[in-house]
Amino acid sequence: MSEPLRLMAVHAHPDDESSKGAASSAYYVDKGYEVLVVSCTGGERGDILNPRLKDDPEILRDLTEFRRREMARAVEILGVQHTWLGFVDSGLPEGDPLPPLPEGCFALEPLETASEPLVRLMREFRPHVVTTYDENGGYPHPDHIKCHEVSVEAYHAAGDAERYPHAGQPWQPSKLYYNQTLSRGRILAFHEAMQAEGLESPYEEWISRWEERGERPINTRVPCGEFFEVRDQALLAHATQVDPDGSWFSVPLEMQRRIWPTEDFELAHSHVPVHLPEDDLFAGIEGG
Count CB neighbours of 238 within 10 A.
24
CA pair distance 180, 264, nearest whole angstrom:
5
- Annotated binding-site residues for Zn(2+) read 13, 16, 144
C-alpha distance from residue 169 to each of 4, 28, 32, 111, 182 (Å)? 19, 26, 25, 21, 36
Taking every pair of Cα atoms in the chain, the longest distance, rounded to a whole number of angstroms, is 60
Are 41 and 142 in contact, with CB atoms under 8 Å apart? no
CA pair distance 142, 114, nearest whole angstrom:
14
CA pair distance 248, 255, nearest whole angstrom:
14
**DSSP element (H, E) containing 225:** none
C-alpha distance from residue 155 to each of 7, 86, 96, 129, 172 (Å)? 13, 19, 36, 9, 7
Q: Closest Cα to residue 156, out of 169, 132, 172?
A: 172
Amino acid present at 285 = I
CA pair distance 263, 179, nearest whole angstrom:
8
Pairing mode, strands 129-132 and 220-223:
unpaired
Are 62 and 24 in contact, with CB atoms under 8 Å apart? no
Q: How many residues does the chain have?
A: 288
- Annotated binding-site residues read 13, 16, 144
Q: Angle between the 228-237 and 22-30 helix axes, to the nearest 10 degrees?
A: 120
